[in-house]
Amino acid sequence: MIGAIIGDIVGSIYEFDNHKSKEFDLFSKESTFTDDTVMTVAITEFLLLDRQISQSRLCSHLYDWYKKYPQLHLTYGRNFVKWLNQFETTNYVLFKKGNSYGNGAAMRVSSVPSLTFGDIRESAKFVTEVSHSHPEGIKGAQAVVVACKMAITHKSKEQIKKAIEEEFGYDLNRTVEQLRETYEYNETCQRTVPEAIVCFLESTDFEDAIRNAISIGGDSDTLACITGSIAEKFYKDIPEKIIVKTLSYLPKEMLDVVYNFYSEAYYDHKNLSEIIMEQLAEHSK
């Protein structure tokens, strides 16, 4: 979860001002969390706290967190906002699914593998299809969740690459250098998820994965968010100074969800959980 949030915050200033290099400051005074973090927190809170597992209840979490930060509404995709706006007049139980394949489907599911006791693909579909029911949207979310789960369970990069290519049909044979030269801004799952996975596969550590994602341009915050969600689980180590700086950008209500996640998912993220829980102990009181 924290890997996704780090990627979002780092990428926030580069989304519309791409930086085609790995040389840059991770954080600046303009850095901030965006809709990617808000929706990641919303999904995580739903999986942690809602014992009435229903899609109508999920919709209420997504809409409630959306409404908490009106200053970020312009960072959301137009189709997703249109989908959310139905809840101004419609009961959650009567919601209509959105047929989107936007990359928002894939950036918000990093907590699913650690909070799911059943089939992770079905869980990814469950939390995705309310707003992104297009097959490409569901596929993007499932691919990220499968990659994350394989990383948690100590699978190699070669195993992850092979599994994602065979199950989801993504082309993961390009290099970061090639993407840096040819990749253009794109908000679809099919042109974001494979590129984010390539940035992870070619990385040497967590920070390098984030730098890879920023360096290819495009929808930088979402790319880095997806890359970071996988890299966190694979490397199982993030420099403490990066974690501390990231947490400083988040309001208390988000910090509480982060704390609760790492308390619940402790054994999947032992080292990171200890750092984060120590940092956030006061916020949980």
Residue 159 has pLDDT above 70, yes or no: yes
**For range 18-44, the mean pLDDT:** 96
Distance (Å, rounded) from C-alpha 73 to C-alpha 39?
Answer: 12
Q: pLDDT > 70: what percent of the chain?
A: 98
User: Which pLDDT score is estimated for 74?
Assistant: 84
pLDDT score at 282: 67
Between the alpha carbon of residue 213 and those of residues 44, 58, 77, the distances in Å are 23, 30, 20
Average pLDDT over residues 218-247: 97
Predicted structure pTM score: 0.96
Contacts of 260 (CB under 8 A, 6+ apart): 45, 48, 49, 284
Average pLDDT over residues 145-173: 97
- How confident is the model at residue 285, as a pLDDT? 58
Which residues neighbour 7 within 8 Å (Cβ) at sequence distance 6 or greater? Answer: 36, 210, 213, 221, 223, 224, 225, 226, 227, 228, 229
Question: Can you list the pairs that 242-246 forms with residues at least 24 positions away whose Cβ atoms lie under 8 Å?
Answer: 242/6, 242/26, 242/206, 242/207, 243/2, 243/6, 243/272, 243/275, 243/276, 243/279, 244/279, 245/26, 245/27, 246/2, 246/5, 246/6, 246/9
Give me the pLDDT at residue 1, please: 96
Domain ranges of the chain: 2-16+31-234
The H or E element spanning position 35 is helix 35-49
Cα 101 from chain centroid (whole Å)? 15
Reply yes or no on whether the pLDDT at 9 is more than 80. Answer: yes
- Cα–Cα distance for residue pair 176/168, rounded to 1 Å: 20
pLDDT at res. 141 = 98
Return the pLDDT at 193: 98
CATH 1.10.4080.10, domain 2-16+31-234, yes or no: yes
pLDDT value for 50: 65
Query: Are 264 and 51 in contact, with CB atoms under 8 Å apart?
Result: no
pLDDT of residue 233: 97
- Range from 44-58, 150-164, 192-206 carrying the lowest mean pLDDT: 44-58
3-state secondary structure of 55: helix
Q: What is the distance between the terminal CA atoms of the chain, rounded to a whole angstrom?
A: 21
Please write the tens of the pLDDT for every residue from 52-95.
Answer: 679 999 999 999 999 999 999 888 999 999 999 999 998 999 99
Q: What does the pLDDT read at residue 284?
A: 59
Section 196-220 average pLDDT:
98
**For position 49, what pLDDT does the model report?**
84
**Please, which pLDDT band fits residue 268 given cuts at 50, 70 and 90?**
confident
Q: How confident is the model at residue 215 (pLDDT cuts 50, 70, 90)?
A: very high
**Mean pLDDT, the chain, whole residue set:** 95
195 pLDDT tier (thresholds 50, 70, 90): very high
For the four alpha carbons of 63, 65, 71 and 73, in that order, the dihedral sign comes to negative
| Statement: residue 280 has pLDDT above 90 | no
